[in-house]
Amino acid sequence: MSSPETNATAQIGVTGLAVMGSNIARNFAHHGYTVALHNRSVSKTDALLDAHGSEGKFVRSETIPEFLAALEKPRRVLIMVKAGDPTDAVIDELADAMEEGDIIIDGGNSLYTDTIRREKAIRERGLHFVGAGISGGEEGALNGPSIMPGGPAESYKSLGPLLEEISAHVDGVPCCTHIGPDGSGHFVKMVHNGIEYSDMQLIGEAYQLLRDGLGKTAPEIAEIFGEWNKGDLDSYLIEITSEVLKQVDAKTGKPLVDVILDEAEQKGTGRWTVKSALDLGVPVTGIAEAVFARALSGSVTQRKATTGLASGSLGAKPTDAEKFTDDVSKALYASKIVAYAQGFNQIQAGSKEYDWNITPGDMATIWRGGCIIRAKFLNRIKEAFDDEPELATLIVAPYFREAIEAAIDSWRRVVVTATELGIPIPGFSSALSYYDALRTERLPAALTQGLRDFFGAHTYGRIDEEPSKKFHTQWSGDRSESPV
């Protein structure tokens, strides 16, 4: 880079100026930073400058060398392009032109294993690579997202203050902190999205229970969600559920939700969460059910082929609508606790596997504002981890233990009623089964072990021996047992 230093006026550069990139760039500018702008096609840069150029100090650039020349050293470049190959292409182009100590930040929804790979490659070239999960959608990007940066602690010293400043703040605390090395930020963002899937599935089930179990209309259910948002369930997703359910379709005059095609799509972060959980051996049943529920909704062929299949004799609809509604809200809350408990267990497992040293309570802190899963009860999650950093599962923390105790009868009633009415509730019921399974002293796993030993000599441990000692029964011989 041979451009004159006098041109280097920008503290941060943003490349990739689709809506998220543009809004983050504007957010930096609103906080007084000079922002260098770059986009593969210059028309996007100019469109941003035309519409919002007066909001702050921007430096226009057409080429990567021009873009980099506009940046103070060490250069900080935020990439906001599509995850996958486009991200690799931009990283390569930047890295070729950058200098030792410069920082490349990937703010997209990248797969954390890609981030691990990229961080290593960039580090070997003397540059810093930060994989930053950014949540909050377009609105959050503009007015304060939750930011989950992972990468070298050293780069956080220079980058952290900027990111913290543009992030959302709750009680004066920024919704941004250094997560840990290499892929940790994107890993945590991935789990955030997994929890987002689970949360949305549970909300969907609650809506369907009120719609099909009580015959309530979308505007009536919007009211109920509005009420729920004043209590324990207070959260962004509950709030916007009420908004979506209220919306009337201009074309038909019907509730919009009744004319939207009933097939949930996905870009893949939920699926990644489940794949990672399978590898880590963490039972994130709520997230898995949510991913599969989306897939099932899109299984058009199967859904068409099975229309009219027998339901068996269905039970009567609840007669006490108020009581049932209250039960559903409690079942939703308890299931949501399970979803977060599972997500936090995955973060703990990932942190251990990759040596990231993530502080789970910090995740609860930075998810309190800005992000899609922001919710009142994240304060409680933070408190739980502050009290007990090595917490085995959230559901044993005193606050959550009591919350579930207060909800458990309602939760069981909802699962029973839904089953009797033939209403599918994979999220609610799997969460309850998970809870029941955890608290059950003897599961049928011992039988599974016996069967594995029978057909494959896979051995088993004994309750009266060290767990590391293995035994095998001579199933096809005299059925005597021997240590292995």
Which are the catalytic amino acids?
189, 196
135 makes contact with ligand 6PG (CB under 6 A): yes
Size of the site for ligand 6PG (CB under 6 A): 13
Under the binding rule (CB under 6 A), the answer on residue 136 touching ligand 6PG is: yes
What's the min distance (Å) between Cβ of 345 and ligand 6PG?
Answer: 20
Binder of ligand 6PG out of 102, 119, 164, 196 (CB under 6 A): 196
Q: Is 433 annotated as a binding residue?
A: no
Provide the sign of the torsion angle of the four alpha carbons 212, 217, 218, 224, taken in this order: negative
Q: By beta-carbon distance, which residue lies closest to ligand 6PG?
A: 135
Q: Which stretch, 10-18, 132-140, 317-325, 454-462, contacts ligand 6PG (CB under 6 A)? A: 132-140
Q: How far is CA 432 from CA 151, 224, 244, 333, 444, in A?
A: 37, 23, 28, 11, 17
* Among the residue ranges 42-50, 135-143, 162-170, 295-303, the one whose residues contact ligand 6PG (CB under 6 A): 135-143
Taking residue 448's Cβ as centre, other Cβ atoms within 10 Å add up to 12
Nearest to 329, CA basis, from 449, 183, 418, 209 = 209
Please state, in angstroms and rounded to a whole number, the distance separating the CA atoms of residues 259 and 126: 54
84 is in an annotated binding site: no
In angstroms, give the least distance from the CB of 185 to ligand 6PG: 13
Smallest distance, ligand 6PG to C-beta of residue 265, A:
6
For residue 107, state whether it binds ligand 6PG (rule: CB under 6 A).
no
- Residue 81, marked binder: yes
Query: Is 14 labelled as part of a ligand binding site?
Result: no
| Backbone phi and psi for residue 146, each to the nearest 5 degrees, phi listed first | -95, 130
Q: Give me the residues paired with residue 133 across strands.
A: 148
What's the Cα-to-Cα distance from 122 to each of 48, 98, 149, rounded to whole Å?
Answer: 30, 11, 16
248 is in an annotated binding site: no
CB atoms within 10 A of CB 469: 11
Query: Which of these, 63, 60, 62, lies nearest to 48 by C-alpha position?
Result: 60
Determine if residue 242 is labeled as part of a ligand binding site. no
Residue 437, both tokens: 């399974």
Burial class (CB in 10 A: 0-12, 13-18, 19+), 423: middle
The correct pick among 267, 303, 323, 452 for binding ligand 6PG (CB under 6 A) is 267
H-type alpha helices, 309-460: 321-354, 360-366, 378-387, 398-421, 426-439, 445-456
Residue 318 CB, nearest approach to ligand 6PG (Å)? 32
Least Å from the CB of residue 178 to ligand 6PG: 19
- Select the span of 148-156, 267-275, 339-347, 398-406 touching ligand 6PG (CB under 6 A): 267-275
By CB under 6 A, residue 193 contacts ligand 6PG: yes
Nearer to ligand 6PG, 136 or 185 (CB): 136
What sign results for the dihedral spanned by CA atoms 162, 168, 174, 175?
negative
Tell me the C-alpha distance between 399 and 382, whole Å.
11
17 is in an annotated binding site: yes
169 beta partners: 174
CB of 264 to ligand 6PG, least distance (A): 8
**Mask of contacts with ligand 6PG, 446-475, x by CB under 6 A?**
------------------------------
Reported in sequence order, the residue ranges of 9-101 that DSSP labels E, i.e. its strands, are: 12-15, 34-38, 57-60, 76-79
Instruction: Report the residue number, 109 or 393, with the smaller CB distance to ligand 6PG.
Output: 109
Q: Which stretch binds ligand 6PG (CB under 6 A): 114-122, 134-142, 213-221, 318-326?
A: 134-142
Which position among 247, 266, 297, 419 is part of the footprint of ligand 6PG (CB under 6 A)? 266
User: Taking CB under 6 A as the rule, does residue 269 contact ligand 6PG?
Assistant: yes
Q: Which of 274, 371, 391, 404 binds ligand 6PG (CB under 6 A)?
A: 371
The distance of Cα 190 from the centroid of its chain, to the nearest Å, equals: 5
**Residue 452 marked ligand-binding:** yes
* Minimal distance, residue 271 CB to ligand 6PG, in Å: 8
CA torsion, points 195, 200, 206, 210, in degrees to nearest 10?
170
Rounded to the nearest 5 degrees, what angle is found at the Cα of 197, between the Cα atoms of 194 and 198?
90
Name the DSSP letter for residue 318. Answer: P
CB of 80 to ligand 6PG, least distance (A): 12
384 is known to lie in a ligand binding site: no
Count of residues making up the chain: 484
Should residue 372 be labelled a site residue for ligand 6PG when binding is judged by CB under 6 A?
yes
CB 462 within 8 A of CB 471: yes
Cβ(410)–Cβ(331) below 8 Å: yes
Residues annotated within the binding site for substrate are 109, 135-137, 192-193, 197, 267, 294, 452, 458
Binding site for ligand 6PG (CB under 6 A): 109, 135-137, 193, 196, 266-270, 371-372
